[in-house]
Structures are given as structure tokens and as C-alpha cells.
Amino acid sequence: MRYNNIRYSVVILFCLLFSDGFAQELIANVYGRNVQSLNGKWDAIIDQYDQGRKNKIYLNKKPEGKTDFYEYSFDHGLRLNVPSDWNSQSPELHRYEGTVWYARRFDAKKEAGKRLFLYFGAVSYRSRVYLNGKEIGKHEGGFTPFQIEITDQVQNTNNFLAVEVNNTRTVDAIPAMAFDWWNYGGITRDVFLVSTPKVFIEDYFVQLDKRKADKIDARIKLSENAANVNIRIQIPELNVDQDLTTDNKGFAKVSFNVKKLQRWSPDSPKLYKVIISSKDDKVEEMIGFRNLYTKGEDIYLNDKPVFLKAISFHEEIPQRKGRAFSEADAVMLLSEAKALGCNMIRLAHYPQNEYTVRLAEKMGFMLWEEIPIWQGIDFENEATKQKAGNMIREMVMRDKNRCALSFWGVANETQPSEPRNNFLKYLIETCKAVDTTRLMTAAFDLVRFNKEKQLFVMDDPFIQELDVVAINKYMGWYHQWPLAPEKAKWEVAKGKPLIISEFGGEALYGQLGNEDVVSSWSEDYQATLYRDNLKMFRNIPNLRGTAPWILFDFRSPFRFHPTNQDGWNRKGLISDQGFKKKAWYLMRDYYKNIK
Ligand code: GCU
């Protein structure tokens, strides 16, 4: 996409030069294309000491002569579901960190003038892909899609596909060595075989102007630098039927005014069918149109100030102790957010699957997406910075046509430093090289109570780089009250909108009483904590949203207490078995009373 300027090409050049993966441009809207699913049972080998690549097991050799000998086979062994994490599929893999090889065979319809791509929705955390005995690509990052063109490597029948997956935590990774969620590994999202014409519509960006309520901007890119190709963009319900012609880079762009546009909002999540076609290709997608910007301390959606009644959730189904990956999982998580009365979701702490993002848009949730820059990242490592740049660009490229996407988050609880500031500024630039319309934010845990001033304050000049400042603050849990909650006054990020992106405390469902005892892990104490925080929120002058941490109890190796936690973070408003705790009702009523 020819977006703005040299900066964009410099950013991309860096990504291409330093990316650990292979930098094929992502095909936009794979879910709207002609795909063959490769989901299902795959053969697997647990390679705990990383011997597989050295022994070239991706060749899938079988003994032929009497003296042939191969100390492996993919047949008749472990079978794993794809998509899914491996942790929830076998007790021996529950805490496994290391390499697992996945393999399957598939047939492919090779057609003249057609191209074939392997598309992975996500593989956690790093992967190498082998087709018919040859390494064809690799990727790092557990939460964003990637694809590999196989047009010339694939055969009509009996292709052997092997994927080497490793989820070992490393200092230079994102996230790094310790994070408060389960380190699920595996081919955790859909795998598709995507067929396209030789020259296809590779990418497009169709959205309402940042401020104007009747002007739509459309940018389209072909897969090749093909000039003078006619492209058509139609939005039938708005009587839009525009013809464009590509330049010598295969780009085309147009802006046009529309009448009677129904702008998307949580209360009215209107989406329009958008059809983009060329002589050889056609892709369509439901796209919404809305205006989103800040003015002083307010966030404006469609020219009206909005208060964000938010909630966070991890990409996890607690009852299954597994990562969420399907449409059914998305329905379960989002129905609970709707029941709570939310109009926004912080998809913590990493880009979640497309079913969740697309359904959230259909159901009317504004979204915050982030890459897992979670606490201790190796900010001084250039390679880590490039990896983060790749990840955030993959996230923005995947979801830039989702009008529900309102916030790009660049960090969670990072500490002020020159390397951290440079790293995060690079991420902001990388986001803006693709999309300049969404609000940039980050979550900080730096608010402190200043005794002299009797004020909650924060000192981190980096917030000047952001449109919206988000604060994680656990008053009544990690921090006890220095004064009565209703007397707590804040002076944080004056002049900018502020969201409380995390607050809350733990409770074991069904444990009652002790409403004033923090270590009781009781529902009654959690309810006290919520009541106290809601009182404090009244005294934050630039508060424009709240997001309790968190919708459901979730798995975490951090959480050692044998009876109250047992490997679960119990801050959920809903238990791991799906039962609402007392605090859930407090939050539901708080949101119901916000007009
Ligand atoms: C942090 C962090 C969360 C974590 C939470 C907690 O703020 O952002 O990822 O789960 O605190 O301690 O429960």
C-alpha cells in the first residue's frame, strides 16, 4: 500500500532485512477467499531435544531395503488436532515447552494460471515449514498469520507437509521469559490452502475518513507491479460503483462521497458488503464505517463523546484449559461480554483469532488490540525490535479493515527508559505507516500515591506519544488504600483521555465471607474491592473508560497458592467453570447505569 511516505518504506525495508521469517505480503481477507481447509487430525512427534531437524525427519523416509533404518515415523503415533494448542490435548504436553513436529499429507488442485499459498492463522511460538522434504519458510510470533507461496513446490497428490513448532521462552522473544498466562504451544489457528489467480487483489484498505462522515477512502494493491489494470469497487447498498486503474506498482486509490451512510457503533453495528474485483479476481467483505478521534480529554465516536464500558479477556476457554480458536469459542466469550453490558473489549495481551475480532465487530464491540510487549522485554536488542515491528505490522495488516478496531496498544507495564521509548516509538511508527486513523495507546502500572500532594500521580513523559493513556491499578489488591477510596483524587495524563485498563482482585468462586480480608480470596472481599474502586473512579476527571481485569479466571504458571489458585489467576468476574461471582453483578449494574 502506498501510504504516506519514505518512513513507511524504511520501516518495511527494515522488516524485510531483519525479519526472522520470510516477508510475503499477507493476502487480505483469506476468510473471504476460495480456500481448502487443512484443519483436522495431524500426525505429531514430540522432539524434546530438538533432534528432528538435524535428522531431517521432514523427509519422512521409510525403510525400503533390508539395511535401511530410520529411527522415527510420523505414522501410527501421536495425533493432534489442528487448530488447537497441544497443552490441552495430552497430559504429558500440559506444561510442555519445546519442539513438536506436526505432519500431514494433502492433495492440491494445480491449475494453469492459478497460484497456491499455505496460510497459517497462527503458530505458537516459532515455526519452520517443510513441503515434500524442503524447508519453504519460517515465522516467529505466536499470534499473527503468515503465508508461504507453494505454487512451484506443490504436486497434485500426496504432498507431505511438516511443521516444526517450538514454544520455548527466550529473552529476545515477544513475550519474553515470564508472563502471566499459559505458554500454549502448537498450530493454534486455522491452516488453509489458498488458491488465487496469477495476478490477484493482494491487499486493500477501505475506511471512512477520520473526521468526515460521508467520505470513504479506498486503497487497493495487486499482487504484482501491474500497471493499467482495471479495478472495481462496489458497495451496492450505498450505490457505490467506482472504477480505478492501477499504477506501475499495482496500486490504485480513490476517495468518494456517499449519502445516507449508517455509521458503525456498538449500539448500531452496521456493516456493508464491499466487493473489490478485477478481470481475474474478486473478493468481498463486510466492512463498517465510523469516525473515531480524540478532542482534549474526550474520545469521540461518530462525533459524540463515548465512555468505554470495557472488559478484558485472554484467548482461552477455561473449562477446556485451552486456547480459544473457533467461532464457537468466540461466541462463548463475546456473549459473556455482552451480558456484562460492555461496548468495548481489550483483547489481552496479543492479537486474538479472526473469529473473535470479526464477531466482536458484528456484535458491536469497540476493540483494543496489542502485541505482547509485556513487562520485561529486551528493549536494547535490535533483532527483538524488528521482530516486534513485524508482529505489530502483521496485526495491523490483518485487521485494518475492521472498523471495530479502535485502539492499537504498543505496551503493557513497561518501565521508563531510553531504549524502551525508542522501541515503542518504532512500534507506533510501524503502526502509522499502515494506518494513521486509529488511536494509539499503552497500559502503564506507574501511577503512585503522592503523600505530600495527597494525589495519585504518574511521571512518564512517554505518554505524550499516545492518543489515549491506559492505567493498570490494583487498589485493594497489590496496593492497599492510603486513604478512603471516595477521597482518592487523581491527576494523571491531564489533557488526554484516560482509561483504567486493568483493576480488580482475586476470588475463588463459592468462597464467601471475610469481606474486609484481602487474603480471604472470597467473593465478598472481591465485591468490596470493586465497590471501593468504582468509588475512586468518580474522582478521575479525565476517566473515559474502565476495563476490569478480567472476564474469566485464567491459567497462569505464576499463581502458586495451592487452594485459592492452583495454577489459576482468580481475578475473573466469572469462574473457570463459568459461574458469575458477586463482583460480576456490581460491574453489570455499574455499566447499566452509564448512559
Ligand atoms: C498485570 C498484567 C496482567 C496480569 C495482572 C495480574 O497488570 O497486565 O497480565 O494478569 O496484572 O497480576 O493479575
Q: 470-488 burial by CB neighbour count: b if 16+ within 10 A, else e?
A: bbbbbbbbeeeeeeebeeb
180 touches ligand 1 (CB under 6 Å):
yes
Per residue of the chain (595 residues), give pLDDT as tens.
344 445 545 444 444 444 444 558 899 999 999 899 999 999 999 999 999 999 999 999 999 999 999 999 999 999 999 999 999 999 999 999 999 999 999 999 899 999 999 999 999 999 999 999 999 999 999 999 999 999 999 999 999 999 999 999 999 999 999 999 999 999 999 999 999 999 999 999 999 999 999 999 999 999 999 999 999 999 999 999 999 999 999 999 999 999 999 999 999 999 999 999 999 999 999 999 999 999 999 999 999 999 999 999 999 999 999 999 999 999 999 999 999 999 999 999 999 999 999 999 999 999 999 999 999 899 999 999 999 999 999 999 999 999 999 999 999 999 999 999 999 999 999 999 999 999 999 999 999 999 999 999 999 999 999 999 999 999 999 999 999 999 999 999 999 999 999 999 999 999 999 999 999 999 999 999 999 999 999 999 999 999 999 999 999 999 999 999 999 999 999 999 999 999 999 999 999 999 8
The helix (run of H) or strand (run of E) holding residue 412 is strand 405-412
Using alpha carbons, select from 165, 441, 419, 425 the residue that is nearest to residue 299: 441
Would you give the distance in Å from CA 56 to the centre of its chain? 33
DSSP 95: T
Distance 196 CA to ligand 1 centre (A): 43
Neighbours of 595 (CB within 10 A): 4
Please tell me the pTM assigned to this model: 0.95
Using alpha carbons, select from 502, 536, 541, 546 the residue that is nearest to residue 340: 546
Task: Determine the residue of 475, 549, 553, 569 to mutate for testing ligand 1's pocket, defined as the one with the most ligand atoms within 8 A of the Cβ atom.
Answer: 549
d(CA 486, CA 538) in angstroms, rounded, equals 8
Q: Which CATH architecture has domain 2-196?
A: Sandwich (2.60)
Grid coordinates representing 130 are 517443510
Distance 340 CA to ligand 1 centre (A): 21
Residue 472 CA: which ligand 1 atom is closest? Answer: 7
412 touches ligand 1 (CB under 6 Å):
yes
DSSP 580: B
Closest C-alpha residue for ligand 1 atom 12: 180
555 touches ligand 1 (CB under 6 Å):
no
Closest C-alpha residue for ligand 1 atom 3: 180
CB 323 within 8 A of CB 315: yes
pLDDT on residue 34? 84
d(CA 427, CA 439) in angstroms, rounded, equals 13
d(CA 235, CA 239) in angstroms, rounded, equals 6
d(CA 165, CA 146) in angstroms, rounded, equals 14
Per-residue 3-state assignment (H helix, E strand, C coil) for 247-301: CCCCEEEEEEECCCCCCCCCCCCCCEEEEEECCCCEEEEEECCCCEEEECCEEEE
pLDDT on residue 595? 83
312 touches ligand 1 (CB under 6 Å):
no
568 touches ligand 1 (CB under 6 Å):
no
8: amino acid identity, one letter: Y
Could you give the count of Cα atoms lying within 13 Å of 379 in the half-sphere of its Cβ? 20
Distance 26 CA to ligand 1 centre (A): 32
Distance 572 CA to ligand 1 centre (A): 12
Which of helix, strand or coil describes residue 40? Answer: strand
Q: Where are the domains of the chain?
A: 2-196, 201-291, 294-592
Closest C-alpha residue for ligand 1 atom 10: 180
Classified by CATH at the fold level, domain 294-592 comes out as TIM Barrel (3.20.20)
Classified by CATH at the fold level, domain 201-291 comes out as Immunoglobulin-like (2.60.40)
313 touches ligand 1 (CB under 6 Å):
no
- Give the angle subtended at the CA of 31 by the CAs of 286 and 21, to the nearest 5°: 125
In which residue are the cell numbers 495425533 written?
79
d(CA 495, CA 477) in angstroms, rounded, equals 29
571 touches ligand 1 (CB under 6 Å):
yes
Task: Determine the residue of 502, 506, 573 to mutate for testing ligand 1's pocket, defined as the one with the most ligand atoms within 8 A of the Cβ atom.
Answer: 502
Grid coordinates representing 348 are 489481552
553 touches ligand 1 (CB under 6 Å):
no
Distance 180 CA to ligand 1 centre (A): 6
Q: 452: buried, middle or exposed (CB in 10 Å: 19+, 13-18, 0-12)? A: exposed
d(CA 565, CA 510) in angstroms, rounded, equals 13
Ramachandran category for residue 29: left, alpha or beta (phi over 0 → left; psi -120 to 50 → alpha): left
pLDDT on residue 23? 54
CB 176 within 8 A of CB 376: yes
Distance 515 CA to ligand 1 centre (A): 22
